[in-house]
Chains A and B, each alone.
Chain A
Amino acid sequence: MTLKGLRTPLPDDTAVHRVVEAHARRTPLATALTCGDEELTYAELNARANRFAHHLRGLGVGRGTVVGVCLDRTPELMTAVLGILKSGAAYSPLDPTYPRERLDLMLANLGRLELTVVSPATQDLIGHDHTKVLDIEALAPRLDALPAEDPQTDVTGDDLCYVVFTSGSTGTPKAVAVRHEGWYNLLNWLALEYGLDERSSGLSVSSFGFDISQRGLMAPLFTGAPLHLLPSRSFDVAMAHRIIGRRRVRTLHCAPSTLYLLAERDLAESPRGGPLTGVDHVFIGGEPLSVPRIEEWAALEGNTCTLLHQYGVAECTDVASSYALHDYPRHRTGSAPVGRPVYNTEIRLMDETDDGLAEVPDGETGEICISGTSVGEGYLNASPEDAERFTTFDTGDGQVRLYRTGDRGYADADGNLVVVGRVDAQVKIRGMRMDLGDVEHGVRASAAVEDAVVLALPGGDGGARLVAFVVPAAAPLDTRALRAGLLAVLPRNMVPEQFVELSAFPLNPNGKIDRKALAASAV
């Protein structure tokens, strides 16, 4: 079974930052960015990014290198991101809500890392073992002397644009590299498919390290619209909701759990709904959507907002398919579809057979495999096992590069993809994809722990929660101390909510740990 996205020709030049440069030439006085009371026009943002790019080039940064970015949602964040792209390098978002040790592990795994951009607010998060650091605020006075013109580089669509991290089974985060052409294809599809233009302002709300955030930051600038930044390190629903109203925000890219909070807030403000109902498009993805949690808000009379339920993986440039939700009652139970592929992208449902990987018959469930322009460059530091996820497949018309997502799904009668689960131990917690092995590795590393198994079990609010089953080195287990230790090494979403102390794990007849019995024992 193959789902095919529209084949749409791309221009010769698919360097994403050159689209922003074109807007700066055409509409220099249009608002490009706001953050709190600060506002920058396209000409101003472009000039700042150019000066930063010239500085970076003077430091030897350019094509084939990677620059880390650990900054809060501030105007400097976009100066850094655009400046790095303009220099010819790729940027890697380093989330300032992560603990220093985790960021250090990420930096250690970034090949071709040139330096990391920080600010006074984030510099303590970046250790100097694996990177040089550059304080963008301290640099400001020196940048004024540099030229404001677009730097001339020979960046092409094949060059890397960003590198994001996903959790790996061995406790080492994996660096996923994406190319300009794939990102251009995604942004171009968004603009054409949903009619986004210079009016399609966006508010960036998600955590900087996620791939969805790279899209949320760049999509407004790609279409010549204002990008509004939430001036808060953590997601602040009250602040976000106020900005949506005050700035008349038209597009949002976020995880379902963020949308639930915004929709609740919107209903609390007025039973007829607030400014969220005036947003044109909310692109949601990253975890399964619970329709009952948004239905009341979505069904409000006069709500003109269209929700796009999306599926994708960082390894294939963030979004692979999208579905416009309209018939809410129909999707109250079960999984809402995630629709059809992005332009120039194909989704195959496949299974391992004696003859290798083969497509499953129509309507049957198989592993979701992605090919086409969306497929990214791959991992920068992969184990052979991970690297095998990128493979080739003979379609009959020739060989294509294929990414095996590890997600399972089927195509419904309308030809829309429906995702049903995973083939391995990856889960989503509050929008963050992680491997349970990564969490187990972290828990087992504690001296207080003899052995541990981590499961994702249903949470109280419709999502999943992490429960760690621990055999302690010495009873009783000090849960508080264990949690404090984990908070120092793992992102907050990866720290288990509940710890269950056991003297030994239940075993099934094969002598393996009985995970079902464990799941049943946690209340």
Chain B
Amino acid sequence: MIAETIHGIWSRELKLESFSNDDDFFELGGHSLIMTRIQQAIAAELGTEVPMDELFRKSTVAGIAAHIEALQQVA
């Protein structure tokens, strides 16, 4: 569910249709400004602010989704 939302955000911001949840953001052609837009979209759509360092460290849809799920379980 969370992964689907993030996949949709990546697809929109990277202007890509087919990629997997394990594909690396930078290998898909992403850069820092795009990641900033993704950060904002995640905050708006999922109500969670993920730090940029965390987004870069995970750098896959699956990794970021797992991070957000872990945060929500703590909360």
| Chain A residues at the B interface, C-beta cutoff of 8 Å | 232-239, 257, 261, 430, 461, 480, 483-484, 487, 492-493, 495, 497-498
Which of B29, B31, B52 is in CB contact (< 8 Å) with A236? B52
For chain B, the bracket of interface size reads 10 to 19
* 8 pairs from A and B in contact (CB 8 Å cutoff): A232-B53, A237-B52, A238-B43, A238-B52, A480-B28, A492-B26, A493-B31, A497-B31
Known A234-B56, A238-B39, A238-B43: A483·B29 in contact at CB below 8 Å: yes
With a CB–CB cut-off of 8 A, which chain A residues contact B33? 257, 261, 430, 461
Interface SS of B by simple majority: helix
Interface centre among B27, B49, B56 (most CB of A within 10 A): B27
With a CB–CB cut-off of 8 A, which chain A residues contact B49? 238
Residue of B nearest to A233 (CB): B53
Q: How far is the CA of A493 from the CA of B26 in the complex (A)?
A: 11
Question: Told that A234-B56, A261-B36, A484-B27 touch, could you supply 5 new A-B pairs with CB distance under 8 A?
Answer: A232-B51, A235-B52, A430-B33, A484-B24, A495-B26
Contact A492 B31, beta carbon cutoff 8 Å: yes
Would you call B32 an interface residue if the criterion is a C-beta within 8 Å of the partner chain's C-beta atoms?
Answer: yes
Per-position binary interface string of chain B over residues 32-75, scored 1 when its CB falls under 8 Å from any chain A CB and 0 otherwise: 11011001100100000101110010000000000000000000
Residue of B nearest to A485 (CB): B27
| Distance of B31 from chain A, by nearest CB (Å) | 6
| Distance of A373 from chain B, by nearest CB (Å) | 34
Q: How far is the CA of A29 from the CA of B36 in the complex (A)?
A: 37
Known A234-B56, A430-B31, A492-B31: A239·B51 in contact at CB below 8 Å: yes
Q: How far is the CA of A480 from the CA of B29 in the complex (A)?
A: 8
Contact A483 B52, beta carbon cutoff 8 Å: no
With a CB–CB cut-off of 8 A, which chain A residues contact B29? 483, 497-498
Q: How far is the CA of A492 from the CA of B27 in the complex (A)?
A: 11
With a CB–CB cut-off of 8 A, which chain B residues contact A234? 32, 35, 52-53, 56
With a CB–CB cut-off of 8 A, which chain B residues contact A461? 33
Contact A492 B51, beta carbon cutoff 8 Å: no
With a CB–CB cut-off of 8 A, which chain B residues contact A480? 27-28
| Distance of A223 from chain B, by nearest CB (Å) | 29
| Distance of A414 from chain B, by nearest CB (Å) | 33
Q: How far is the CA of A480 from the CA of B26 in the complex (A)?
A: 9
Contact B26 A487, beta carbon cutoff 8 Å: yes
Contact A430 B26, beta carbon cutoff 8 Å: no
Q: How far is the CA of A217 from the CA of B29 in the complex (A)?
A: 31
With a CB–CB cut-off of 8 A, which chain A residues contact B31? 430, 492-493, 495, 497
Residue of B nearest to A479 (CB): B29
Residue of A nearest to B28 (CB): A480
| Distance of B54 from chain A, by nearest CB (Å) | 9
With a CB–CB cut-off of 8 A, which chain A residues contact B52? 232, 234-239
Q: How far is the CA of A232 from the CA of B55 in the complex (A)?
A: 12
With a CB–CB cut-off of 8 A, which chain B residues contact A261? 33, 36
Contact A236 B51, beta carbon cutoff 8 Å: yes
| Distance of A390 from chain B, by nearest CB (Å) | 33
Q: How far is the CA of A237 from the CA of B33 in the complex (A)?
A: 10
